Amino acid sequence: MIAYPKKNDGTSDSVTLPTGQITNVCSLTIPKGTWIINVGARFSKNGTGYRSACIANTSTKNEAQVRVSAAPGEITQLRWSLVRSFSENTTVYLNQYQDSGVSLDTGSSGTNLNSTNVNYIDPCFGSFICATRFL
């Protein structure tokens, strides 16, 4: 199971991340059980401030599971994995935050992030939530 960012109008795989504001980038409903959740969070180029992301049970929570300083002159890409058990079907949210002073973008294929890989959505190149049942 995998989820990628989508704007509310469904026309783009890029989401704008306003500065100083928690942004829900995508969500995934995971069935009851124990799951390995792999997460990627992408931020467009900007060398100011910090970037953080979390998997949460609400779309407004900013519980930074990963937080780093911006990569000067480069796209900042965060990756991590966690194991979670759910006693019922649960929706999890990828929430991202940045404080660069300007709006930044995130996306799965990076079409607005100078990626040459614009026709193929690959989780290695963007923000995503991927869940695999843990046996």
- Domain with residue 111: its CATH number is 2.60.120
The confidence score (pLDDT) of residue 59 equals 81
Mean pLDDT along residues 88-110: 83
Mean pLDDT along residues 48-62: 86
pTM above 0.95, yes or no: no
The confidence score (pLDDT) of residue 72 equals 86
As for how many domains the chain has, the answer is 1
The confidence score (pLDDT) of residue 123 equals 42
Q: In 15-48, which positions are buried (b, 16+ CB within 10 angstroms) versus exposed (e)?
A: bebeeeebbbbbbbebeeeebebbbbbbbbbbee
Q: Looking at per-residue confidence, does 13 or 57 come out higher?
A: 57
Structural domain harbouring 95: 2-133
Mean pLDDT along residues 105-132: 51
Residue 37 pLDDT exceeds 70: yes
Inter-residue contact 19 to 103 (CB < 8 Å): yes
Say how far apart CA 26 and CA 116 lie, in whole Å: 23
pLDDT category of residue 99 using cuts at 50, 70 and 90? very high
Residue 118 pLDDT exceeds 60: no
